[in-house]
Structure 1
Amino acid sequence: MVNTFESSSASSSRSSSSEGASFGSSSFSSVVRSSDHAERPNETTSEETSTSGVAEVQGKLKRVSNRQRYGPSEVPGYEWVNREVTSYYSRYQDTSMITNLLDYTNCLTFNAKENPYPIGIRSCRNNAFPNPDTVCLDQSGAKMESFYIYDCLLRDLKVKLPFDEFTMGVLRVLNVAPTQLHPNSWAQLQGFKHLCRCIHIRPSPLLFLYFYSSRPSILAKWLSLSRVGERQLLDSFTSSYKNFKAGFFRVTIRPNGRRFFFGEDNRSLFPLYWTRAPRPYDVVPKSLLSAEERKDLKLLLRLPRRLPTRSLINLVESPLWENDLIGIMVSSGADELNIHNLLAVRVKQVKQVGGVGTSNVARTPQREQDNRELPSPERKKKKGRKGKEVDRCPRHHPIGP
C-alpha cells in the first residue's frame, strides 16, 4: 500500500490546549425498592417519605451533573463548544491501526501511482500528552491543512476520500466540518446519494436538504438533521449511533492533493474545522429548487416512504444492484410492476438527454456558483415547564473557524 502516513510526533503545534481531564456524568445508586408489604389506602409511611426524598435529591443531582457535562468546554479558546465534545480523545494513537482500517474499507480513490500520495494520515494524542487532539481542534495554523474524520464513516457508511462534489456541497451549505455532522445524518446523505445514482438522478445539496430541517444547539456539538413531516424519504440508519465519538483520526492535505479539497480561489470546498454557527433552517421550499431539481423531486416523491437507509448504502457493493433496488422498493410497500415501469421510463429519459454525470471517480472538484440561500427558521415560542414562554430557536454565535 502506498505510504500515506506521518508520525504524530512530527505534528505541528496546536492552536489550543486541554487540561487533559475527562468529564463524565456522575454515577447514581439504583432505584430504591418499595416494601414487600402492601400498605393501607391513604396511609403514608415514613419509608415512602424517605424514598420520595431520595428520588428528589437524585433528580436534582442528575440535573446538576447534566449541566456540568453539557456546559461550555473548559478547553481555552473553545468555550463555544459543548463540553461533551472535548471530553473524548481518539483511540487511534498508532498509525498501524489506521492502516488496517484503510485496507479493510478500501476507501481511498486517489491515483495510487501519484508520488507523493495526495493525503497523509496522522494518529492522535490523548490526554496523556501535552496538547492532546480533540475532534473540534482548529489546525489552520499548521504547515499543511488537515481535517478529522470518524472511522465509522469509512467502515459503516462507505464514505470515500476524496469527497465528491455533492458531499462537499452539503457540508458547505450546512457550514459544518466532516466530524461536526452526526453519523446518522451522514448515513442519510450516503443513502440519498446512492438512491439518486441508482435511479439516474444527479444528487444536489438542496434536493437532499428538502427532506430535512436543521436546528443547531447554542453550544456547538454534532449536528443532526431532522426529517420533516411527510417528507420522510429514508428511515434512520440506527436509532442511536453508539461508540463513534472516540474513533477519529487526522487527514493531512499535501500540496499535490490541494486540488481535491480546494477551489481555484484557494478556498476550501467545505469547512475543514468545526464552525461556531452551523446553518439552521426549517424547510427548503420548492420555489428554491431549480427546474431540474423540481423534476427530479417529482420522481423521488413517487417512491415509497421510509426506504431502508442501511440497504441503500450497501447497494454500492452489490453486483446486482438493480435487482436489489427493486427488492428494497417492494419490501417498502411498492408494487413491483409499477417500480419496473417507473425505472424503465427514467432510463429512457436519461438516454435521450445523454446521461447523468454522477461518477464518484476522484477528479478535480470546483466550487459551484450557487447563491441560493436557505430561509432562516421562524422563532417559535413554546411554554416551558413552569408555563413561561421559551424561545426554541437558539441565538447563534458569529461564524467561527
Structure 2
Amino acid sequence: MQHTKEHRMNGTTKPTLGVAMVGYGFMGAAHSQGWRVAPRFFDLDAEPVLHTIVGRDASRVEDARAKFGWENAQTDWRRVIDDPAIDIVDICSPGDSHAEIAIAALAAGKHVLCEKPLANTVEEAERMTEAAERASGDGVRSMVGFSYRRVPAIAFARQLIGQGRLGEIRQVRAQYLQDWLADENGPMTWRLDKSSAGSGSLGDIGAHAIDLVEHLTGSQLTGVSGTLETFVTERPLLREGVGLSGTASAARGQVTVDDAAWFTARLAGGHADRAIGAFEATRYATGRKNALRIELSGSRGALAFDLEAMNELQFYDATAPAGEQGFTRILVTEPEHPYMAHWWPTGHAIGYEHAFSHEIADFVGAITRGTDPEPSFADGLHVQRVLAAVEQSAAAGSAWTATAP
C-alpha cells in the first residue's frame, strides 16, 4: 500500500511511503539516518516520510523524535498499526517484541523491516515467516535488517565468488570480535537478559557472521558443534533513569546469556558445498572494537574482509604465476563497485552508517517494483535455526547438531 499523497522533489512528483519506527536506541539512530539519507543519494521511485517514532518512555521518545527528525512520537506501537498514514513499520526494538509487532503489522498490510536476529526463538521466527509469506501474496513486503550485506566490499566479494574466482570454497573462518563487556563492572543492559535478547554474543553479533557466510557463498550451514561461555554472571544494575554512561547502583543483576560463542560447522550447496567452517562471536575480545572478520579459502583463490577496514577487500588469485601470487588489497571505492557510484569521488571512503542507507534504498526499491526483498524472513528463520542448534549443541557438551527443522 502507498499514500495517495505525493511529494515534490527536484521538480518531480513522487508517491510517498509513511514510515513508523519502533525503537529509538542505537539501531533507531542508525535506521533514522538511513531513512533520511537514502532518498537524497538514491533515485527512489517513492519518497519515505519519517512519520512516527515509537518508544515506551514518552520523554525519551520525544527527545529522539526531535533529534532524528521524525514528525511524530508515540508510546504505543499498536497506534501506528492502525494508522492509515503508515505504510512501513521498521522494528528496531529488543528481540522479545519482534514477533508480536511484525505479525500485527503484516496482517494490517504494512511492509515490515525487522532488525536481526529475526526473533528470540525458532517458534517465533516460524510464525513471523508464515505471516510474511501470507502477506507477500497481497503485495506486502518484508525484510530482515542484516545490514552488512550492503557494505560495498562484501557486495563486491559476492560478485567475485559468483564469477568463480575462488573456485570451490573449502574452508570458512568467520569471527565477530568486540570488547565492550570486557569490564566486569560494566552495567547490566537488556542485551544481557535472555528474556529480552534471546541470546548474547551468539545472536547479537554471531548472527551477522552466519548470514554473511551464507550470503557470500550461497551455501547453508547444515550442522554445528558449539561451545558457549558466560564469564561474568552478575553485573551492576543501573540506577533508575540513568543511562549506560551513568552511575550504576550497588544492586546486581543476573546475566542470563552467553558472553562468547565458538562453533564449527559444515556447509552444503552453493559455492561452498562440503566446506567446513569455524565461527567465533564474543564481546570480550580485548582491544577489538567491531572486528567482523571473514576469510574464505577456495581452490582458485581466497578472500578476506575485516569491518574495521570496511572499504578494503583482500583477494588472493591462486591461478596467477607463482612469482606473482599474494594477497592484493582492493580499495572498494570505485564507481564500478556496488553502491559506490551514488557517493563520493574515487578513493573517498564511506562508513558504517552508509550500509543502512543502502538497506533502505534496496527495501524501498523492492516495494515500488513489487518484488520480495532479501534477506527474507525465511532467511532470518534459517539463521535462527542455526543459533538454536549452537545452543542445543553447547548444552549437550558440543554434540554435533543438525540445523534442519
Question: What TM-score range do you get, normalising by the shorter chain?
Answer: under 0.3
**What is the TM-score normalised by the length of structure 2?**
0.23
> Which structure: larger Rg?
1
- TM-score norm. by structure 1 comes to 0.23
Q: Which has the higher strand share?
A: 2
